[in-house]
Amino acid sequence: MRLAYAPYRLCFKEPAGTSRGVMRLKQTCFIKVFDEADPSRFGIGEAAVFEGLSAEAGRGYELKLIELLANMALGRSTDLSRHSSIQYGLEQALLNFSSGCSGLYFPSSFTEGKTDIVINGLVWMGDFDTMMKRIDSKVAEGFSCIKLKVGAIDWHSELEMVKSIRSQFSESQLQIRVDANGGFNMDNALPRLKALADLGVHSIEQPIPAGYPELMRFLCEVSPLPIALDEELIGRCSTEEKIAVLDSIAPAFIILKPALCGGFSGAQEWIKLASERNIGWWVTSALESNVGLSALAQWTATLGNPMPQGLGTGQLFTNNFEAPVFLNGEHLCCIAGAPLDHTQFDSLQWRQ
């Protein structure tokens, strides 16, 4: 078995705002595995590294890919415990190869086109009027759950935006999730959480920055609004580290991005440990291309979680790839039996 990798830069159709800044480009990396006797047949995966979030992002990232490439050629194992995105991409490539280099990663009723996945409608940051237009668009498209990125405009305007939504739609009509990306602090977090709870918001992701477990534990204990951990999971690779996070903070939910929390295998362990502690969870994508999104959706479909999932729709980028997933209202669907066209990857600059 041999391996090759190809760095790739995804281009946003519109600037994507978060509390950490505005993104116009998103670096990713594709991995393929193949038999040297027939390199035209290969399994494809996406190592969805996320600069600014992925613990492994940095100067040593490509060195780890080179190490993996060499070790696979020699039949040796590679320690990827601290390289979640590479683990994620390699798992995809191997699954795709073992399925006959088709569009399959995790066969299920979803890949047969018989079931779908309900997802939340993500509303990116912007000014008040822009965000309200985006919210109206998501509701018109049929979303019953929306997720608001907050922190780009002043808090008063963001709160007025939530009030405006609630004046039009009750909790039973529209579920609202909020993602602060660590944008609050201990001086303002509690009054903001109360204000959001009073408006019937479902939950908030990562109200304060990761790395302050005692403060996050306190917020989880006293907050009237359920708190979900996201960035807090990144870089926690061993079972002991995961248990320590869950036991020391005791959140209401955890948000799973396999690209950032140990690939599919690492995310599966997070689910097991959380379930044992009656902690809820859902899956969120990490700005993958349609390649990673297709594999992620197929895995998510096997988990049987009825909550709206935080999966992207592949509509963010101008230079995306074709894959057998599509959006129908709030339902992410898969085209039954549709192959993944591997020829679209021929023009990538593969390193092997």
Instruction: Kindly report, residue by residue over 12-50, the tens digit of the pLDDT.
Output: 988 776 656 677 899 999 999 999 999 899 999 999 998
Establish if 145 belongs to a structural domain.
yes
Return mean pLDDT, the chain: 93
Shared domain for 209 and 294, answered yes or no, is yes
Is 257 a catalytic site residue?
A: yes
pLDDT attached to residue 62: 93
pTM (2 d.p.): 0.94
What lies within 8 Å, CB to CB, of 124 at 6+ separation is 14, 16, 17, 18, 131, 134, 149
Shared domain for 328 and 188, answered yes or no, is yes
Is 149 a catalytic site residue?
A: yes
pLDDT tens digit sequence for 282-341: 999 999 999 999 999 999 999 999 999 999 877 889 999 999 999 999 999 999 988 889
Shared domain for 177 and 254, answered yes or no, is yes
Shared domain for 132 and 268, answered yes or no, is yes
Tokens linked to 16: 């994507």
CB distance 236 to 261 below 8 Å: yes
User: How many structural domains comprise the chain?
Assistant: 2
pLDDT tens digit sequence for 102-126: 989 999 999 999 999 999 999 888 7
Shared domain for 147 and 262, answered yes or no, is yes
The catalytic residue among 26, 147, 242, 257 is 257
pLDDT attached to residue 313: 72
Shared domain for 52 and 185, answered yes or no, is no
In angstroms, the Cα distances linking 306 to 300, 301, 330 are 11, 10, 13
The catalytic residue among 32, 64, 149, 242 is 149
pLDDT attached to residue 20: 64
Domain that holds residue 141: 117-334
Shared domain for 130 and 172, answered yes or no, is yes
pLDDT tens digit sequence for 43-77: 999 999 988 788 888 889 999 999 999 999 999 99
Region 129-147: mean pLDDT is 93
What lies within 8 Å, CB to CB, of 157 at 6+ separation is 128
Output the domain CATH number for residue 152: 3.20.20.120
Check pLDDT > 80 for residue 183. yes
